[in-house]
Amino acid sequence: MQKPLILVTNDDGITAPGLRALVGYMKEIGEVVVVAPDSPQSGMGHAITLDNTLYSTKINTDAKNGAKAEYSCSGTPADCVKLALQELLDRKPDICVSGINHGSNSSINVIYSGTMSAAIEAGIEGVPAIGFSLCDYSWEADFGPARDFVIRIVREALVHKIPKGVVLNVNIPKSDSKEIAGIKICRQARANWKEKFDKRTNPMGKDYYWLTGEFELLDKGQDTDEWALANGYISVVPTQFDLTAHHAIQRLNNWNLNE
């Protein structure tokens, strides 16, 4: 039987330890092709390159430690997936996995996440997709404890199939594998960022700003991704890219819009 073809991407860049770990895990499941940004693209969301050219460079990899093929791309995470599906792959991948991100993409963070946007782009194109994130922003983060869980989730997704129009957002708590309580299917917690700008002035007298802020959890539910992570579980949130608020359609139909 032909091995599954797995497209691996991320937003931290092609040299990121999280991506290197994910490549190793996916090689246990199928053939791996990597298409990832040539530099960090965190917080890019679903941005695509429209006003510039895109470049892709094939990287020579060690067959034992690397993927079947690896490409660095000058664009955003969404660009990487578009380029992979339209130009670089010789067949449609069986699944796209994005990550493993250095840092959480739970709750409202999914909106800004390049990691999840890459997975969502694959989902839009009809490729089953999963975004993986570890709740540890350190470049030296230990991805080892997540290994068995990541492999299990991907294998289950290949066997049982992810529902159409849905992408999985998986967040992993920072902990030893023995401390991970299990996996929970969750909803996205209601939360927000209470943002601040640190205003400074450069030596030339020009003002500049650093974005800072605090994460504000507005949801006390015990069925959310934030609750799961706080209690040692890996959270799995089925995320859709149809942004229609279907429940609001009837209410808006009662407005006098055509008078």
Binding site as annotated, residues = 11-12, 42, 101
Q: In this structure, which amino acid lies at residue 166? A: V
Closest C-alpha to 223, from 231, 215, 214: 231
Q: How far apart are CA 33 and CA 21, in angstroms?
A: 14
- What residues pair up with 112 in beta bridges, in sequence order? none
| 102 φ, ψ (degrees, to nearest 5) | -85, 90
How far apart are the C-alpha atoms of 153 and 148, rounded to whole Å?
9
Which amino acids are annotated as binding site for a divalent metal cation, given as ranges? Answer: 11-12, 42, 101
Compute how many other C-beta atoms are within 10 angstroms of the C-beta atom of residue 160: 8
Give me the phi and psi of 134, to 5 degrees please.
Answer: -110, 135
Q: Report the alpha-carbon distance of residue 57 to residue 236 in Å, rounded.
A: 33
